[in-house]
């Protein structure tokens, strides 16, 4: 073997590189240019293929979200009927939702199911590992699903601590390390915590130190979670169970996961799943139907607001019928590319009178829309094609005046901390930024 290696090295030293002629260099450049064009063409075709495009026509309805026909239509379309008697609580930033979630785990008696996109090692990760491990050691069945891409910064030893305590921790779509997920572009972006099938949490939060605190610093993230109790939690559990089944081939069944739902006074709510392999475009349908139902106002709080052409047309139609539309977006977010693509979609909306506000104090990561100050949708869904057509997502829809008042209060608080954007200021962007925005917008189907 050593002799072969030495002979190879000698041959490499003796082989003098031949300088290419100008014609050869030109041919080589042409070849690489055509290869680049072919690559871009294939990439463009792939983007088109994976973009949300099932729902192609504008949604037109003659009733608002308070009309019984609204929930009577949206429930069956999303495969999740609205249920009455739910208790709703909006939790603002990590200072509120982390203690509530950890307390729920500490009180668990039968089961804990947790699904998240990002899990990074750190202080809050240690708290979740301790709480989940303690639950597993006292006999609670603990099931955790996380996305493979989102767990890059989750240390192997931290994962082992969970396993050693008796919790089950799996990467979505891969129960065993040797299994390969065929479509790496398809992620689980769902954020779910369900305890004993009786209390559930969803929103944009992940298990990462960036969500700690009260979003008073630029390196902390502004977030809103929803806590639900009541019959709708059974639907939340079923969303987790679907991905657990896809990953393991096993069902989660029994009263420990799906207890009998107690009937009580409270909010009307539903929880639906959306993903390319199950109920495709449910998230898109939910958003567009709510926009079509708007009669007075649409208030959008979104980290990634990249509406497609149909969504823009429907927002413009809402403006044409007199609906006030306000959108809070990040002044800065974690993706310059995504921010530029988002800006490429604002022009027509600003011209039509849609009001934009750029949140300044911290990274804005909210995923909430409020329609007519009555219909609230919140969860993992971003207002972009990746959430509408590529990733697995989960959202809770609530029809309730009290919950809407809480959401409106949060909206106004965030708006007061935001910088308004006028049409004139938007048009005064430097020419080079307009070009960058347009270029990034070409890739919006993947954002």
Active site (catalytic) residues: 189, 191, 196, 365, 367, 372
Which residue's structure tokens are 């750190």?
A: 122
User: Residue 15: exposed, middle, or buried by beta-carbon count in 10 A (0-12, 13-18, 19+)?
Assistant: exposed
Of 364, 92, 89, 360, which Cα lies nearest the Cα of 213?
92
Beta bridge partners of 116: 146
Long-range CB contact pairs, 384-387, < 8 A, 24+: 384/304, 384/305, 384/306, 384/307, 384/444, 384/447, 385/51, 385/52, 385/306, 385/308, 385/444, 385/445, 385/446, 385/447, 386/189, 386/446, 386/447, 387/189, 387/274, 387/283, 387/304
Evaluate whether 232 touches 197 at the Cβ level (below 8 Å): no
Q: Which phi and psi (to 5°) does residue 247 adopt?
A: -85, -40
Count other C-beta atoms under 10 Å from residue 140's C-beta: 21
3-state secondary structure of 353: coil
Rama region for 279: left / alpha / beta (φ>0; ψ in -120 to 50; rest) = left
Total count of residues recorded for the chain? 447
Evaluate whether 220 touches 210 at the Cβ level (below 8 Å): yes
Calpha distance 327→245 (Å, rounded): 37
User: Residue 420: exposed, middle, or buried by beta-carbon count in 10 A (0-12, 13-18, 19+)?
Assistant: exposed
Of 197, 191, 234, 192, which Cα lies nearest the Cα of 111?
197
3-state secondary structure of 225: strand
Q: What is the CB-side half-sphere exposure of residue 179 using CA atoms within 13 A?
A: 13
Evaluate whether 239 touches 192 at the Cβ level (below 8 Å): yes
Written as six digits, the tokens of 52 are 């949300």
Q: Which phi and psi (to 5°) does residue 155 adopt?
A: -65, 145
């Amino acid at each position: 073997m050593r002799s072969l290696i030495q002979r190879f090295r000698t041959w490499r030293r003796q082989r003098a590189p031949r300088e290419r002629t100008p014609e050869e260099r030109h041919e080589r450049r042409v070849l690489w240019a055509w290869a680049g064009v072919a690559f871009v063409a294939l990439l463009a075709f792939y983007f088109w293929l994976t973009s949300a495009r099932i729902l192609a026509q504008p949604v037109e309805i003659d009733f608002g979200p308070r009309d019984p026909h609204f929930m009577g239509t949206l429930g069956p379309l999303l495969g999740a009927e609205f249920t009455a008697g739910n208790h709703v609580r909006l939790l603002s930033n990590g200072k509120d939702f982390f203690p509530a979630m950890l307390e729920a785990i500490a009180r668990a008696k039968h089961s804990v199911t947790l699904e998240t996109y990002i899990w990074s090692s750190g202080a809050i990760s240690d708290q979740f590992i301790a709480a989940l491990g303690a639950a597993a050691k006292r006999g609670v069945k603990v099931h955790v699903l996380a996305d493979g891409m989102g767990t890059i910064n989750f240390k192997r030893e931290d994962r082992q601590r969970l396993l050693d305590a008796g919790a089950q921790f799996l990467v979505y779509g891969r129960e065993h390390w040797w299994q390969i997920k065929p479509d790496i572009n398809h992620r689980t972006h769902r954020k779910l915590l369900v305890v004993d099938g009786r209390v559930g949490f969803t929103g944009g939060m992940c298990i990462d130190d960036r969500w700690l605190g009260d979003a008073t610093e630029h390196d902390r993230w502004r977030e809103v979670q929803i806590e639900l109790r009541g019959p709708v939690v059974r639907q939340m559990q079923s969303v987790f169970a679907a991905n657990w089944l896809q990953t393991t081939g096993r069902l989660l069944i029994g009263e420990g996961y799906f207890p009998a739902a107690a009937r009580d006074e409270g909010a009307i709510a539903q929880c639906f799943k959306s993903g390319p392999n199950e109920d495709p475009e449910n998230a898109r349908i939910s958003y567009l139907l709510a926009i079509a139902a708007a009669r007075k106002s649409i208030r959008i709080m979104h980290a990634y607001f990249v509406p497609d052409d149909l969504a823009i047309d429907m927002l413009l139609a809402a403006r044409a019928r007199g609906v006030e539309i306000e959108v809070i977006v990040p002044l800065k977010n974690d993706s310059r590319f995504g921010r530029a693509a988002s800006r490429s979609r604002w022009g027509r909306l600003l011209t039509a009178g849609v009001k934009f506000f750029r949140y300044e104090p911290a990274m804005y990561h909210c995923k909430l829309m409020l329609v007519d100050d009555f219909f609230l949708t919140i969860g993992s869904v971003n207002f972009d094609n990746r959430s509408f057509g590529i990733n697995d997502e989960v959202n809770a829809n609530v029809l309730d005046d009290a919950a809407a008042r809480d959401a409106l209060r949060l909206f106004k608080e965030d708006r007061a901390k935001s910088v308004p954007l006028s049409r004139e200021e938007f048009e005064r962007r430097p020419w080079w930024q307009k070009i960058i925005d347009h270029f990034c917008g070409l890739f919006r189907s993947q954002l």
